[in-house]
């Protein structure tokens, strides 16, 4: 990933927050069939692990060997930035369009688990997190489904774990712009309902 110094994300909490808020990762593998990307929700498990599951029919667990290197890409909210939003354009026309975004690249080694205990643990972890967010105390639980149906569903997935070896974060958020331009870009994004990105920018606000 191209990483100009001014856009390197150095705050671990910012990277963790991005992964937490946008758990649908693009998992890039280089297996027996060459490069492939799968879009899979994953969760942090401790400080150095990510976990998730894929369909048994997904060839990722056949083409990528246990211990193979993988890259997981997480993307936050992004937006086009118009030169018209720079107040300094009135006196300096030397501006062009750009794009603001946040990404995290997580490198690691993947391993697959086919046993029911591991699969139940991953499904339980995922559903507990997302059902609580979606339905609160009324969230769906695996025990809500008939036992035989749940066993069939579990037999059709493969759990996986990624041991994290490296993390890179990039926050391209207009922090290289003049204070007045930065503030106006933030306001323009808020006016368009792009509030998460605008909120992430505000930690760079300057007097």
Percentage of the chain exceeding pLDDT 70: 99
Q: Which domain holds residue 48?
A: 5-201
Q: Is residue 28 part of a domain?
A: yes
Cα distance between residue 41 and residue 21, in whole Å: 11
On whether the CB atoms of residues 32 and 63 are closer than 8 A, the answer is yes
On whether the CB atoms of residues 18 and 168 are closer than 8 A, the answer is no
What pLDDT does 205 receive?
78
The helix (H) or strand (E) run that includes residue 201 is helix 195-201
What pLDDT does 204 receive?
85
Q: What is the CATH number of the domain that holds 21?
A: 2.30.110.10
Q: Is residue 207 part of a domain?
A: no
Cα distance between residue 207 and residue 197, in whole Å: 20
Cα distance between residue 108 and residue 27, in whole Å: 10
What pLDDT does 206 receive?
63
pLDDT per residue as tens digits for the range 15-69? 999 999 999 999 999 999 999 999 999 999 988 999 999 999 999 999 999 999 9
* 3-class secondary-structure state, position 189: helix
Which residues, 6 or more positions from 128, have their beta carbon under 8 angstroms from its beta carbon?
A: 139
Q: With a cut of 50, which residues of the chain have pLDDT below it?
A: none
Q: What is the model's pTM?
A: 0.94
Number of compact structural domains in the chain: 1
Q: Is residue 206 part of a domain?
A: no
What pLDDT does 203 receive?
87
Cα distance between residue 142 and residue 119, in whole Å: 12
């Amino acid at each position: 990933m191209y990483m100009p110094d001014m856009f390197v994300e150095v705050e671990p909490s910012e990277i963790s927050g991005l992964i937490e808020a946008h758990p649908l990762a693009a998992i890039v593998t280089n297996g027996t069939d060459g490069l492939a990307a799968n879009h899979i929700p994953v969760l942090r498990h401790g400080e150095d692990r990510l976990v998730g599951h894929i369909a048994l029919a997904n060839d990722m667990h056949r083409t990528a060997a246990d211990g193979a290197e993988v890259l997981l890409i997480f993307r936050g909210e992004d937006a086009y930035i118009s030169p018209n939003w720079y107040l300094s354009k009135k006196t300096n026309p030397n501006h062009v369009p750009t794009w603001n975004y946040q990404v995290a690249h997580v490198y690691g080694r993947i391993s697959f688990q086919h046993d029911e205990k591991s699969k139940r643990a991953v499904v339980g972890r995922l559903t507990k997190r997302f059902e609580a967010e979606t339905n609160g105390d009324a969230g769906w639980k695996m025990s809500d489904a008939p036992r035989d149906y749940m066993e069939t569903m579990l037999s059709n997935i493969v759990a996986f774990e990624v041991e994290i070896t490296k993390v890179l974060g990039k926050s391209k958020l207009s922090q290289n712009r003049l204070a007045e331009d930065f503030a106006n870009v933030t306001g323009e994004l808020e006016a368009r309902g792009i509030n998460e990105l605008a909120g992430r920018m505000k930690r760079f606000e300057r007097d």
